[in-house]
């Protein structure tokens, strides 16, 4: 598809250093863990064989990816897939066994203690699944805690904390204790604490898994809103596919410590890399993830002139609506130019998952997809 569609996308210039660049990362737990990545034979073993042979557990296996500035990078996988270990390796809360991590070009694994502390204090802040709030402090003091650790004066950090508390919608609860808040509110405190230190990148470790479905949705929207307002880079860990599709600009799907597929939501859903991924995304409502760009075909000469117009980034479900209303194929208009058409047949193929559109399409890496109507594209 990429060869046929050359949409100008400008969110990424090659000169930008990625916020996080991870290369060949390993984390092995167990005795003499460092020999596993070093030995190609051991490295090739399956998890069960490795455990049997060495007593080691490889949580992260040879993982490489870049997190670009301003994107929401989702790492998703089932429990035990190593995603939580991976995100902890980024700031060395868990010391990686092998590999390279760079933050804006600076080697993380080579940092000394004070440099690492500086990284954790100002550059990357984390939001945890179980919130990790200090129960004996008020909401305000919890939010200000990161600044307190940095040595910011009391008045200044309180002022900053109040500002962030308002931003996450917790006004009026500043003096409560975490124990008096609901789960959603507690996670807002966790989020506020991370935001208060104004980090370059926010790391989320399954932040909403412990919340009720409705509250989870609220919090996801909160994150989408924050991302839209501030454009902060985010690395988001989740085991919930819908959450990944809603939030992620790009998704890395992990299994047994490896990344089995890395791509936009559309790529993951439209062209699963293997049977595991295919099984994983089987129940996803494809018409809400796939865009018209993947479903369209070149316009015949007589089709370019009439019919409803849709944007290339519009979802298939939007196109279905347009086609159903007008009764004729829709034109895909990009910058006032007709780049193709979608007819009901092509759209139905997407919904049914029978079309060949899925294979090997969109590979412009930086293009943010539009997984959900709410998110929109700049």
Binding footprint of other proteins on the chain (CB under 8 A)? 91, 93, 116-122, 125-126, 128-138, 145-146, 148-150, 175, 177-180, 190, 193, 197, 203
Q: Smallest distance, Å, CB 282 to other proteins? A: 34
Smallest gap from Cβ 149 to other proteins, in A, equals 5
Which residue number, 73 or 145, has a Cβ lying nearer to other proteins? 145
Q: Tell me whether residue 147 or residue 241 sits nearer to other proteins (CB atom).
A: 147
Q: Are 74 and 238 in contact (CB under 8 A)?
A: yes
Tokens of 238: 């989740």
Burial of 273 (0-12, 13-18, 19+ CB in 10 A): middle
Q: Which is nearer to other proteins, 121 or 258 (CB)?
A: 121
Both tokens assigned to 113: 């203690």
Q: Which is nearer to other proteins, 79 or 180 (CB)?
A: 180
Q: How far is the CB of 115 from other proteins (least distance, A)?
A: 11
Rounded least distance, CB 251 to other proteins, Å: 23
Of 42 and 94, nearer to other proteins (C-beta) is 94
In DSSP terms, which residues pair with 28 in a beta bridge?
Answer: 58
111 by DSSP, 3-state: which?
coil
CA–CA dist 289, 265 (Å, integer): 7
Structure tokens at 77: 């996988």
Minimum Å distance from CB 160 to other proteins? 14
In sign, the C-alpha dihedral spanning 255, 260, 262, 265 is negative
User: Which of residues 136 and 154 has its CB atom nearest to other proteins in the complex?
Assistant: 136
CB neighbour list of residue 111: distance below 8 Å, 6 or more residues apart: 92, 119
**Shortest CB 296 distance to other proteins, Å:** 45
> Which residue matches tokens 């859903």?
269
Tokens at 78, concatenated: 């089932």
Q: How many CB atoms lie within 10 A of CB 129?
A: 18
């Amino acid at each position: 598809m990429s060869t046929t569609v050359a949409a100008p996308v400008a969110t990424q210039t090659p000169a930008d250093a990625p916020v996080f660049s991870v290369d060949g990362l390993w984390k092995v737990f167990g005795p003499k863990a460092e020999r596993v990545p070093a030995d190609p034979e051991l490295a090739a073993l399956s998890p069960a064989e490795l455990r049997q042979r060495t007593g080691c557990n490889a949580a992260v296996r040879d993982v490489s990816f870049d997190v670009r500035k301003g994107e929401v990078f989702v790492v998703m996988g089932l429990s035990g897939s190593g995603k939580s270990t991976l995100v902890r390796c980024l700031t060395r809360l868990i010391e990686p066994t092998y590999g390279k991590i760079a933050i804006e070009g600076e080697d993380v694994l080579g940092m000394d203690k004070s440099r690492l502390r500086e990284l954790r204090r100002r550059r990357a802040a984390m939001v945890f699944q179980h919130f990790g709030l200090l129960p004996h402090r008020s909401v305000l003091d919890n939010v200000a805690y990161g600044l307190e650790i940095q040595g910011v004066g009391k008045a200044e950090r309180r002022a900053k904390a109040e500002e962030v508390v308002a931003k996450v919608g917790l006004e009026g609860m500043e003096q409560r204790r975490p124990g008096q808040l609901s789960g959603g509110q507690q996670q807002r405190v966790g989020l506020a604490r991370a935001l208060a230190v104004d980090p370059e990148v926010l790391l989320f470790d399954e932040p909403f898994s412990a919340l009720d479905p409705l509250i989870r949705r609220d919090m996801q929207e909160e994150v989408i809103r924050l991302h839209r307002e501030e454009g902060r880079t985010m690395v988001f860990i989740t085991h919930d596919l819908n959450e990944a599709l809603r939030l992620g600009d790009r998704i890395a799907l992990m299994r047994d410590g490896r990344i089995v597929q890395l791509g936009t939501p559309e790529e993951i859903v439209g062209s699963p890399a293997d049977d595991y991924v295919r099984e994983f995304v089987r129940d996803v409502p494809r018409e809400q993830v796939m865009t018209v760009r993947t479903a369209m075909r070149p316009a015949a000469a007589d089709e370019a002139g009439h019919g409803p117009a849709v944007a290339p980034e519009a979802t298939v479900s939007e196109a279905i609506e347009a086609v159903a209303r007008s009764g004729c194929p829709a034109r895909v208009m990009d910058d006032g130019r007709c780049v193709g058409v979608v007819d009901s047949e092509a759209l139905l193929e997407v919904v049914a998952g029978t079309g060949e559109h899925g294979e090997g399409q969109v590979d412009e890496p930086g293009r943010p997809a539009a997984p959900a109507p709410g998110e929109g594209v700049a």
